[in-house]
Structures are given as structure tokens and as C-alpha cells.
Structure 1
Amino acid sequence: MTPPPTAAPAPPAPVAVDPGAVRDPGAGRRTHPATGGALVLVGMLLVALNLRAAVTSLGALLDEVRDGLGLSGTTAGLVTTLPTIAFAALGALTPWLVRRVAPARVLVVAMLALAVGQVLRVATDSTWVFLLTSALALAGIAVANILLPMLVKQNFPHRTGLVTGAYTMALTVGTTVAAASAVPIAHAFGSWRAGLGVWAAMAAVAVLPWVPLALRTRAAARRATPTAAVAAPARVRPARTRLGWAMAVYFGAQSLSGYAIMGWLAQLFRDAGYQPESAGLLLAGVTALGVPIALLMPTLAGRLTTLRPLVLGLTAASALAYVGLALAPHGAALLWVILLAIGQGAFPMILTTIGLRARTAEGTVALSAFAQSTGYVIAALGPLLVGILYEVTGGWTAPIGFLLVALAVQTTAGMAIARPRYVEDE
């Protein structure tokens, strides 16, 4: 509430800011783009490499983990659903956390939680300890998911598409490498624990760039004087805006299809007559082809006046792939894999759009948290409902029909977010 004019002290004089400088995350001091900005970028790329490795490595070794820990089918189902639950619940808390702690310090703790959680979960024979330590690791990922779009907006406001593309590509590379190498690493060391635990080292490396940045923000906070303090920005509540809900629905629908594809595409190709190894390679092809798409898509999104061509183009690619998988899954498998990879470009596009649809870093982190946390609740339904429909009908027509319905919802939401607008204005 604004105090009466007679009681209000004179506001501090505004401080001029060099537009060529880059702000430290969470700090008031400035750094030169070639130093502080480069360190932030390196830190973001290392964090992005870790954002799915703990998930996809577990998916690749789920059978071995089930045998090693004696997991029931229900518990194994909980393990596969845990990432979306953690991303939804813990991601929603991130804006509250960032208002109290500098983002650099938050990321230090997040990456430490990821590293420690991955180490502890391979050192136990207890099912419940495995679940709890997995949740600890996922908590670090959930927080980092929300922070990266905000850091792009805060530190690289004029390079949103390029930087988002770079970190999305790093995320895709980490996802692909972890999924492809977890089993060979486990076989090389004779234990699934090695195939999961090795990724803790990568998370520990991701801590390193953020330590000096966190120390720098702490030093800046100590030097700050009361007269230099800046009023806290107004709270942004995307849940009260149409744009916020459209972003959440688009993010959720595209993530739903993405998780369903990761969970069930290999089984579809097996049912179509492919050997398990070939089916796995076809699934890996979707992720591998996503690497250049992840770099290109944010750049395109950042340059277009309206996103409608991208939204409709991605929808067309996914729709053709789904129809093709239903009618001729074996005859043109490579074509469907390419089209699926193009359609999954909706993920880097929506990450870029989060930054494009907010004016400020505070608006970006609020929109990122709401879109991702709500979206992951929607996404959790994907693999579950596809599995139920597959089991009940004994085929892939109904599951693919469900994915086409989800695609229609995604497209409707995509048209709502296509034109330039800002969440702060609503």
C-alpha cells in the first residue's frame, strides 16, 4: 500500500545504468558482458546439461533398478511419475524463493541438491530412501527449470532467442547422452548404480561457475546502503491472466506428448515388427534430431512478429507423424521420426516465448513458474493415459487419437500466445 504523501520520504535519485553492461543475477552491481556475462552463460549451459540426465538415465535402467531394489509395479510407476510431480510442486515455489535469495545462490544449492541426491540414491538398498533421494535430486532440477528463462531475460535481454536456443540445445544433448550411455556405463561397471551415479559428477561441475557469482552478489548486498535500495517490484500473478493460462496449457500439452513419446514410442515400433535395438534407435533419433531444432527454434521465435506460422507448422508436423504412426508405423518409420522431432520443437519455442511474453525478469520468473508447474501437472497424464488406452484396446489407434486431441488443445492455446503481448499488462 502506498503511504500518504505527507508521510513518504523523498525517493532516492535514480541511478544511471550502462545499457551495455550485464547485471549479475540477483545483484545490483554491473559486470562487463565479456566477463560476468560469459560466466553466467557458461553456468547456464552447464545447468541445462543436467536438467534431464537424472531422469532419462533412470528410464533407461528402470528394469535393472526394479530388480536391484525389488520395486513393485506400483512403485516403479511412482518412480516414473515422480519427475513431473516434483517439477510441478517445487517449480511453483521458485518465485517465492527468488524474492528472498539471489538466483546465483539458489542455483548453487539446486545443483548441490542434484549432485547429492544422485549420489545418495545409488548408495541405498531401501526403496523409500531411493524415492526420497530421487526427490531431492529432482528438486534441484525443478528450481533450475524455472530460473533459466529468468536469467536469459535478466542477463541477455537482446539475445533471448540465441541464448535460449543454446541452453535448450545443451538440455537436449544432456538428455540424449544420458539416455544413450546409461546402460553401457552400467554394463561396463557391472552395476546399475554406476549408470545412475556417474551423472552426479556433471551436476557438481555445474556448481562451479555459480560459486563466484553467488559470492559477488553477497558482496554487493553487503556494500549496499539504505539510500541505494530499490523498491521491490510489484508481484506478477500469471494465474490471474489469460496469457498465463494459455502459456500453461500450451506447455502442458506439448510436454504431455513429449513424455508419451519418450515412454511409448519404442513399444509402438516393437509392436510394428522392429527388433528392440532398432526400436530404441528410432526413439533416440527423435531426441538426436531435436538438437539442431532446439538451437534453431528459439532464434526463429525471437525474430518473428507473430508465432502463428511456427505454431501451425509444428502442429502440422506432429499431426502427420501421428497419422503416419497409426497407418504405416513400419513402412515409413524414419519419416515419422523426423516429423516427430520437428513437432517436438514446440518445447524450445515455448521456453523462448516465456521470455518474450514478459517485460521484466520478475514477470519472466513468475510466468515461467506458473506455465511450467501447471504444465507438468497436465504432462503427467500423458504416459499414464496412453498406457491405459493401449492396455484396454490392445492397439495404438486409441492412444494416437488421444495424442491428436491433445495436439488440438495445444494448437488452440498456441494461437492465443502467438501475438505479442505481456503478462504484466494483464
Structure 2
Amino acid sequence: MGLMPREETRTTTPPTVRSQTAHEPGTPGGASPRAWTMRLLILGIVLSALNLRPAITSLGALLEEVRDGLGMSGSVAGLLTSVPPLCFAVFGVMAPRLARRFGSGAVVCAGMAAIATGLLIRPFAGGTPGFLAGSALALMGIAVSNVLMPVIVKRWFPDRVGSMTGLYSMALALGTALAAAVTVPLTDTLGGSWQTGLALWAGLAAAAVLPWLPFARGHVTPPGAGEKTAATATPTRGPAPASTEHARVEAPRLRMARSRTAWALAVFFGLQATAAYITMGWMAQIFRDAGVPAGTAGLLLAVTMVMGVPLAFVIPRLATRLPHQGPIVLALGLCGLAGYAGLYLAPAAGAWAWALLLGVANCAFPLALTMVGMRARTGPGVVQLSAFAQSTGYLISIPGPLLVGVLYQHSGGWGLPIALMSALMIPQMVVGFLAGRDRTVEEEAAR
């Protein structure tokens, strides 16, 4: 796809000019400013991705203890597992406006701070309402970061969308699996308090704030942005408070609601999110009800999540090389159907196999993120498509985990919930196949 922007700068810009356009305040002396910026950005992306799911999977591993401690019924627990997609839908739609006003880096930095604060206060807020409020604060930070991560990847790494999305998705899967695997053992080690076990994850989120501080202050801009601004900007008094990143986000709005590709991608995103949040919220409980010990059930959930580590790196790279991503969608869907069949027929006997199959199926998430970057040609188009697909998708996913909790409570078993999960996989495969067609939302808007 051509040279990276920083490579173009090296070959076309004299050394003195490069220093002016590439240098950002606060860059350590003796280091290449651009190389330092890229390393810091990659660190920020990885640390942020690590924090986008522990708030959910740590709760899934301790859901029974939280239910007992707060006196929740199955239906209320189902409501609790529906809070993540609700927050992602409500707060995710705000991300483009916040990015235009403050910059993507500042919004992600604030998002990481919100995650740390929410995770720290929710176990000790007292009662179900306080727990929900703390969860909502953390999930608000996750929501805006969810939407802006594909945007940041597209803007800073335009010719490495597949590999950088793979790195981000791999870190996300690693954080998801880590929280599922170690929350129960850590809780037992620290005295068995579920409050302490959940609050521990605030430390990881606090660490993710640090790499974004230079970006939050507007000290750094995407490669090549300075040259474009110098050629087109009008004189201003004093230093501009907003970086060129803001100008790149501001563009004529595309009519996403009139794009069939945008709708297909939004519904695909929503259905894969439904499956993912049902899995993260309820799968450990399915195994525990089948007689699997709590620690082993947490490990099985971790296996499901950790499958995304290697596959989240492979699938985006493969997807960017294919003219149509539909075959990948179908393969992942078939793995999901096989895993659900196993959960229904022999949940304990074949637990490890079903965990692996469902882990493969959950890799529809990095595929959806990759398609967001591929179905729009421009950075502003990715911003709008990401916000539309994720916000609409998460709205679609809200009823799923709640309905699973209601069916579980009123049927007294997992037969009906698993049947629901299996039924939802069919339309997910259909719309995912349609979203994988080689076209862009800008083309459809032009028509």
C-alpha cells in the first residue's frame, strides 16, 4: 500500500524541516521524536486494549459470589450482564463528538481514568445500585475507547491497519483471558473477598493512563499532519489549542443509516457482541452448574478468551488480504454452533473442547473491527462508521444477556438459553457475509 508517512517524510523533507514538523514538546533528548512517539502510541494502544474487558470477565468469574453478596436474583444478574452493551451504545455514540472537541488521545486518556475509578469504587459502593453506577462509569471509559481505537489505528498506521488491529485485538483478548483466569485465584489468595478481587483491576487501568498524557495535551500529531497543516492553515494568534487531528475528524457527515454495508456491519457487530457478552457473563456459571469447580470454570472461560490472542493477530491480517471476508465469518459461525451444541449435550465431559470452539467463534470481534477499517476509505469515514456500527450494534446486543438470565431463572436450566445462543448465530453469519463484501460507505453515500 506504499510507504508509511514517516518514510515519505524522510525522503522528501530536508533534515531541518523534519525536525520542525516531527518534534513534539516533551520528547526526550537524544531520541528520534517520531520513533519515540510511535513507541509511546503503540504502548498506549496495547495497555488500553488490555483494559477493555477485565471489568466484564472478572465479574463473570465471580458472578455467583457477587449475586450472593448483593442479594441478586437471576433476572437482576441478567440485567447486570446487559449493562456493558447498554453503556457501550449510549456512551460510544458520544465518542466522535468528544474527539472533535478534545482530540482522540485526550478522550482515550480520560476513558482509561474512568475505567480505573469505576473499577475501584464499584465493589465498595454498597448495594446493587452503587455497584451498577461504578460499573457504568468504568464501561463509559471502555465505550469511548472502543470506538476510537480503530480511528487511531487508521490515522496513525494507515498502511498497517491489519497488523495494528491484530496487535490491539490480541492485547484485548489477553486482558480478557487474564481477568477470567486469575480473578478467582487472586481473590482466594487475598482472603476470599470478592470486593478485593474485583477492585484489583483498577491498577491496570491506572497504568494505561500514563502513555496517553502527551497525546491528551495535544503535543503530538499523526505523521505528515504538520506538513498538510502548514500548507493549508490560516494564521492564528499564538499556538493553536487543537491539533490537526481535530481537523481531520471534522468532515461532511456520511448518511450511515442509508448505507446497506453500514447496517450489515452494525447488525453483525451487535450479534457477535451478544454472543461475546453472554459468554463472558454466563459461561463460567454454565460450567459451575454442570459440576465443574469454580476455579476450573474460570480457567475454561480464560481458555475461551485466550483463543483470541493468536487468532486476533492472524484473522485481521488474513481479512485484509481477501477481497471478501464472508468465508471467515462463516467459518467462525460454524465453530460457534458446534460449541453451543457441545454445551447442551455434554457441558462437563467436553468442557475444554467447547471452550476452545467458542473461543474461535468469539474472534468475530477483531474481524468486525478490521472490517470497520476496510469499509471506509478515509479517517473521518472510519470515525463515523465505527461510531454507527458499534453504537447501533451494542444497542442490538442489550437484550441478549438479559434474556438469558430470565430464561435461566424461569426454566431452571440452560437448555433454552443455549438454544437462543445457537439461533442468534444464524443471522450473525448472514449479515457478516454481507458486511464482508468489497465496498465502502463513501461509495454508497456518493450514490
Please classify the TM superposition score into its range, dividing by the shorter chain length.
0.7 to 0.9
8 Å CA contact 2:60–2:282 kept in 1: the answer is no
Partners of 1:189 and 1:391 in 2: CA distance: 32
The alpha-carbon deviation at position 296 of structure 1 amounts to 1.4
Secondary structure, aligned partner of 2:424: helix
Q: 1:398 aligns with which of 405, 416, 435?
A: 416
How far 1:313 sits from its partner (Å)?
1.3
Counterpart position of 1:226: 234
Equivalences for residues 39-188 of structure 1 within 5 A: 39-69=40-70, 75-125=76-126, 127-188=128-189
RMSD, matched Cα = 2.9
Instruction: Kindly provide the CA deviation profile for residues 248-296 of structure 1, in whole angstroms up to 9, marking residues without a partner as x.
Output: 1101111112222233333444555544444443333212222211221
Q: 1:196 to 1:393 in 2, by over 3 A?
A: closer
Distance 1:176 1:168 in 2: 12
2:213 aligned residue:
211
| CA apart distance, 1:149 | 0.5
Aligned counterpart for 1:318 among listed residues 336, 347, 352: 336
CA distance in 1, matches of 2:385, 2:98: 15
Letter in 2 for 1:193: Q
Distance 1:419 1:407, change over 3 A: same
| Number of the residue aligned with 1:254 | 272
Partner of 1:7: none
How far apart are 1:110 and its partner, in Å?
Answer: 1.3
Q: Which structure 2 residue ranges, 5 or more long, are not aligned? A: 11-19, 24-32, 237-243
How far apart in 2 are the matches of 1:200 and 1:115?
4
Q: Any gaps of 5 or more consecutive residues in structure 1?
A: 1-16, 23-27
Deviations 1:4-47 (A, max 9, x none): xxxxxxxxxxxxx766469xxxxx96576523222211111111
Q: Distance in 2 between matches of 1:324 and 1:128?
A: 36
- The CA distance in 2 between the partners of 1:324 and 1:122, in whole Å, is 34
Question: Which has the larger displacement, 70-79 or 412-421?
Answer: 70-79
Seen in structure 2, the aligned counterparts of structure 1 residues 214 and 349 have a Cα distance that, compared at 3 Å, is same
* Residue of structure 2 in register with 1:266 after alignment: 284
Aligned 8 A contact 2:82 2:399 in 1: no
Q: 2:402 aligns with which of 365, 369, 384?
A: 384
Tell me if structure 2 keeps the 8 A contact 1:113–1:137.
yes
Higher mean alpha-carbon deviation, 176-185 vs 164-173, is at: 176-185
Could you say which residue in structure 2 is the equivalent of 1:5? none
**C-alpha distance in 2, partners of 1:136/1:279?**
28
Q: CA deviation at 1:77?
A: 4.1
Give per-residue Cα distances to partners, 1:343-363, cap 9 Å, x unaligned: 222111111111111111111
Which of 283, 297, 308 pairs up with 1:290? 308
What is the distance in 2 between the residues matched to 1:397 and 1:330? 14
Structure 1 residues 88 and 422: alpha-carbon distance in aligned structure 2, compared to 1, 3 A threshold: same
TM-score norm. by structure 1 comes to: 0.85
Of the structure 1 ranges 287-296 and 242-251, higher mean CA displacement relative to structure 2 is found in: 287-296
Report the TM-score when normalising by structure 2: 0.81
Residues 274 and 140 (structure 1), Cα distance of their counterparts in 2 relative to 1, 3 Å cut: closer
In structure 2, distance between residues paired with 1:130 and 1:60: 16
Alignment of 1:346-357 (within 5 A): 346-357=364-375
User: In the superposition, relative to structure 1, how do residues 238 and 256 fare at CA in structure 2: closer, same or farther (>3 Å)?
Assistant: same
Q: CA deviation at 1:227?
A: 4.8
Q: Does 321-330 or 90-99 show the bigger shift?
A: 321-330
Distance 1:275 1:128, change over 3 A: closer
Give the residue type in structure 2 aligned to 1:360: T
Identical amino acids, percent of aligned pairs: 47
